[in-house]
Structure 1
Amino acid sequence: MSSDEHLLVQQNPLPAALSNRLADQLSFIIEVDRLKTVLRASPLAAADRRENDAEHSWHLALMVMLLSDYADERIDVGHTMRLVVIHDLVEIYAGDTPLYDTAAAADQQEREEAAADRLFRLLPVDQARWIRALWDEFEARRTPEARFAKAIDRLQPILLNWMARGGTWNTPGVTAEVVRARTSGIKDGSRQLWDAVHSMIEDGIRAGWIKSGE
């Protein structure tokens, strides 16, 4: 178990009677409650506030369940759900990096790698390796599951921006060309979903929610 005095569990230590393995697992589960406090840039469709990372991850898992038929390659749905559930855990320590914030993206990989090292070591060694491997798989996007998981990760904010009639598309400097470039990874996992996004972007331009850039 980590000696990090800033872990949430230190505020109210678990019973000493627990096994070391269970104590480590529960400590990790308590620590990742922090994900609920990490705000993203995307606005909610159902309330006048921004979504948090935990809400985002849940939404992605549900989308994988419902939209898996649109994957260009055969995927293991359960494995893909695991990828989207853990992919943002590192933001507990690294913070969220908004899609259209190029300055914040400069050191994003470095911050997230350090956060992964710090967070996943809280688990028992075997589970730490397993979860880290899932996180690395998502980041590398070399498997069909990782490519589809990334596609869903890019699609979800587009839906929220669509419902907000602009949302983060109103970020200074963002044009339809920028939106397409930053979300083009969708087509690596699903051409059909990419076509749907293209339609939303085109209609968003016509509605005045996205600057055409022309």
Structure 2
Amino acid sequence: MSVVNPAVSTKPILSIDSTRAVDIDINDVTHFLLELDALKRVNRRSYVTGTTRLENSAEHSWHLAMACWSIAEQFELDVNHEKLLKLALVHDLGEIDAGDTFLYASTRSTAHVEEREGIARLQNERGNGITNLSEVWEEQETGDSKETQLLKVIDRLLPFLLNLNTEGKTWIELGVTRSQVSGAHAFIKDSFPSIHDWLSENIKYATQQGWLIDL
């Protein structure tokens, strides 16, 4: 006699519109998932703490999403959490095609051009189920919502934090100056003063340690 485990159901877990499902090719779905996987191959300039390897953009996107979520909760910020997390997750997707551009690179101001083209390609890629992918990416790039403002603050905070905890390895390797770092983080003074105060103190510390060039 067979024994049926009451905890195991043979019914589908999700309620899916069968007429719509017929038109969806799972090969297309998985194709798009692999397109997203390519973000793991894009290395940034920051080192992962406790290692000798560079952080990749997929790791940064995850860290950014989690950090935004945690800080929004802890400071009880009046933001839309779903929107915030979506902005964080799409934030660096354009780098799949464009690659990462260092914050202090001379080409930084034009990096968005190639990234926008990459997002347009992903938007039209077969298997993409995110109909407003380009719209969400554009919001994080050029928008001024509360969610976007928070995202930009945390996006600057995280690589600074990694540099601080790897003895300024990236700063030293690329000859970054105190004034460059101060300038890149100046906008945070208005949007998140307590984080800016913390950054300012640690910019002084990093300069004293010789990790930042005192210029």
Question: Is TM > 0.5 for Structure 1 vs Structure 2?
Answer: yes
Partner of 2:139, secondary structure, is helix
Distance 1:33 1:45, change over 3 A: same
Decide whether the 8 Å contact of 2:32 with 2:127 is kept in 1.
Answer: no
CA distance in structure 2 between the partners assigned to 1:177 and 1:71 by the alignment: 29
CA distance in structure 2 between the partners assigned to 1:34 and 1:125 by the alignment: 15
Instruction: Figure out how many residues of one structure are paired with residues of the other and give that number.
Output: 195
More helix, by proportion: 1
Partner of 2:164, secondary structure, is helix
Distance 1:131 1:85, change over 3 A: same
After TM superposition, the score normalised by the length of structure 1 is 0.81
CA distance in structure 2 between the partners assigned to 1:23 and 1:184 by the alignment: 47
* Counterpart among 137, 140, 143 of residue 142 in structure 2: 140
* Counterpart among 41, 44, 47 of residue 48 in structure 2: 44
Decide whether the 8 Å contact of 1:91 with 1:115 is kept in 2.
Answer: yes
CA-to-aligned-CA distance 1:102-132 (integer Å, 9 cap, x gap): 1x3253122112111111212668723x221
Partner of 1:197, secondary structure, is helix
CA-to-aligned-CA distance 1:65-120 (integer Å, 9 cap, x gap): 22125769621223211111111011000110011211x32531221121111112
CA distance in structure 1 between the partners assigned to 2:110 and 2:178 by the alignment: 25
* Counterpart among 57, 67, 70 of residue 66 in structure 1: 70
Partner of 2:130, secondary structure, is helix
Gaps of 5+ in 2: 1-20
Query: How far 1:173 sits from its partner (Å)?
Result: 4.9
Query: How far 1:23 sits from its partner (Å)?
Result: 4.6
Give the corresponding residue for 2:79: 75
Report the identity percentage: 32
Give the corresponding residue for 1:121: 124
Where does 1:193-204 land on structure 2 (aligned, <5 Å)? Answer: 193-204=195-206
Gaps of 5+ in 1: 1-16
After TM superposition, the score normalised by the length of structure 2 is 0.81
Decide whether the 8 Å contact of 1:71 with 1:190 is kept in 2.
Answer: no
Decide whether the 8 Å contact of 2:139 with 2:148 is kept in 1.
Answer: yes
Q: Which amino acid aligns with 2:119?
A: A
Query: How far 1:54 sits from its partner (Å)?
Result: 0.7
Decide whether the 8 Å contact of 2:31 with 2:127 is kept in 1.
Answer: no
After alignment, is 85-94 or 198-207 more displaced? 198-207
